[in-house]
A and B are shown apart, each in its own frame.
Chain A
């Protein structure tokens, strides 16, 4: 049974189509990430589900009931605002109790429910504090407790972690996941941050220009992006534009890039002729020093020679930028523990990657 179902929902602002025929469903207890750049319509979609914005056409159903005409307070939707939107003149306990007061929770139950919610978000003992006395992370916990206190049918999280600093973000992300799972909340996370989307969501929906481009598990989205936009938006990538030269057996075809390099790509699809965009993830590239000697030719392997331009040791990862002939730059991400080869700027290296690691996006699409 789907808790939420959007059928062909469209919203226009004048000539601009903000949400364009979006179909979306979510099962009970699942977490769905709505990912896209700003202006892709994800926030409008969220506001339509919440009831703040009315859609022009299509159907919005919550638990099988059409809610299109209902005001926000007539639906039972929880929303965690990006700025938390805690009421500054109310205490933590009053904030959490606010929704219960209007959602008809018996007043005898409210105090124990406040306690329960605050312990869930690990904010016990903070009942009497005001939002201004809390840190960003604490405010977010209270906001989450407030949103969950009314036991909403669906919980919407608007960029839940974007206002926090990087370290806290990772901690809270894990906690957030745990809390959502423990209350079995059906959740939609709206975000432009891929890390947030991929880590929180059981499934990820990528939106662009008001449309859904791809829906899949986080692994699918990253490993098999539906099109160039998804590949570019999710994760880092190196891009080449090339034309087919000839076709090898076993589905490997050879492309000559606009810079003149040859890249072999493996693809099960038959669209292997003509022009295409080639995408190589930086972590699938290996670095081999010139001194390591000749690499045995292999039709399923690519070898590009270049000069190390920059080495950035970022803790766990090392980002190496290699300049290929024709000034093209190639980003290579290696684990720090690999350590080998220890390259320095100016050094000649070879970038090696398998033909099967090249993502292929034909121009015809």
Chain B
């Protein structure tokens, strides 16, 4: 589509200029294809280069932040990260928070999506919009609003405040993903289960849940990723004792900018890769993130 319209445009221009034989449609097509490939390549480099530099710098043997590339390799920045009294507890909090957020958001999101998917169409749309509304708000707004409310009724420990903040944004993700999955499941499948003798509960566990499994998992991944990554909401809700890793990294960056940051970043990347491999083993990654979501 893009190729054709682009080529047509070039072709027309060529015709207007009266050089039709010199610049054929076929050449225009080939040229355009090359351009597109170049753009894709440049984009990939742009996206990957910082990651590569971070990975390389994290194994820098120098004790200070030197220029790229590092002269020799050492793992001492990692060692510092693991023994950093400020960052390591932050990582613990982050991991715990992300796991809790994922578990609660997935449970709430799945149930909410199930309810929404069975509503009549004129109710379904406004309610879906209402549930997804937090995604429209900037994190700053949510964080600030939560601080106002939670400090007025100061009953929750900091960890639960953070959990509440993360859930506000994570739940819409899990609802959205589960809804996409459920919409691909034909109503007749559930009815087929019922007419074959399964009651509603059995039909849910044997038909609906296995079929929606992949999109629920995708929602869970989004929730986990959001929670691990969130800075804006966490910034408002953290205190001196309980703070997640992004908050710790930012304040460390301000106070003493060294390569412990790079080590932490690489560690997080590695963790992500491990999680993705695990998911791939359990569910099949392409099915979780790819076309599986849209298939019945």
Contacts and interface: CB of A to CB of B under 8 A. Distances in A.
B56 interface: no
A103 B195 CA distance: 10
Interface in A44-83: 50-52, 71-73, 77-79, 81-83
Contacts of A78: 195
B197 A79 contact: no
A89 B211 contact: yes
B210 interface: yes
A87 B207 contact: yes
Contacts of A146: 192, 196
Contact of B188 (A73, A81, A89, A98): A81
B194 A85 contact: no
B211 A88 contact: yes
A103 B196 CA distance: 7
Given A85-B189, A85-B191, A99 B210 contact: no
B202 to A, nearest CB: 7
Given A83-B186, A89-B211, A73 B198 contact: yes
A82 to B, nearest CB: 8
A101 B210 CA distance: 18
B195 A50 contact: yes
Interface string B204-218: 001100110000000
Contacts of A73: 194-199
B210 to A, nearest CB: 5
A77 B197 contact: no
B296 interface: yes
B195 A98 contact: no
Given A85-B186, A99-B196, A72 B202 contact: no
Contacts of A254: none
Interface residues of A, number: 24
B51 interface: no
Contacts of B193: 87, 98
Tier of interface size on chain B: 10 to 19
B192 A88 contact: no
A102 interface: yes
A72 B207 contact: no
A51 B194 CA distance: 9
Contacts of A72: 191, 194-195
A99 B198 CA distance: 7
A89 B188 CA distance: 15
Contact of A81 (B191, B198, B210): B191
B198 A85 contact: no
Contacts of B197: 73, 99, 101-103, 150
Contacts of A52: 191, 194-195
Contact of A98 (B196, B210, B296): B196
A89 B199 contact: no
Contacts of A85: 186, 188-189, 191-192
A140 to B, nearest CB: 13
Given A88-B296, A89-B210, A89-B211, A102 B188 contact: no
A98 B195 CA distance: 11
A102 B197 CA distance: 5
Interface in A339-362: none
Contacts of A51: 194-195
A125 to B, nearest CB: 23
A74 to B, nearest CB: 9
A98 B296 CA distance: 18
A286 B197 CA distance: 56
Given A102-B197, A102-B202, A81 B211 contact: no
Contacts of A102: 196-199, 202
A102 B192 CA distance: 12
A103 B198 CA distance: 8
B13 to A, nearest CB: 47
A355 to B, nearest CB: 50
A103 B199 CA distance: 11
Nearest to A83: B188
Nearest to B211: A89
A103 B189 CA distance: 17
A78 B211 CA distance: 23
Contacts of A88: 189, 211, 295-296
A128 B196 CA distance: 20
B192 A81 contact: yes
B6 to A, nearest CB: 36
Contacts of B210: 89
Interface string B236-279: 00000000000000000000000000000000000000000000
Interface string A139-157: 0000000100010000000
- Most chain A beta-carbon neighbours within 10 Å: one of B195, B198, B202, B211: B195
7 contacts: A72-B195, A77-B195, A79-B191, A81-B188, A81-B191, A99-B197, A150-B196
Nearest 4 CB-CB pairs, A to B? A102-B197, A99-B196, A85-B192, A85-B188
Interface of A: 50-52, 71-73, 77-79, 81-83, 85-89, 98-99, 101-103, 146, 150
Given A87-B189, A98-B198, 15 more contacts: A51-B195, A52-B194, A72-B195, A73-B195, A73-B196, A73-B197, A78-B195, A79-B195, A87-B192, A88-B296, A89-B210, A98-B193, A98-B196, A102-B196, A102-B199
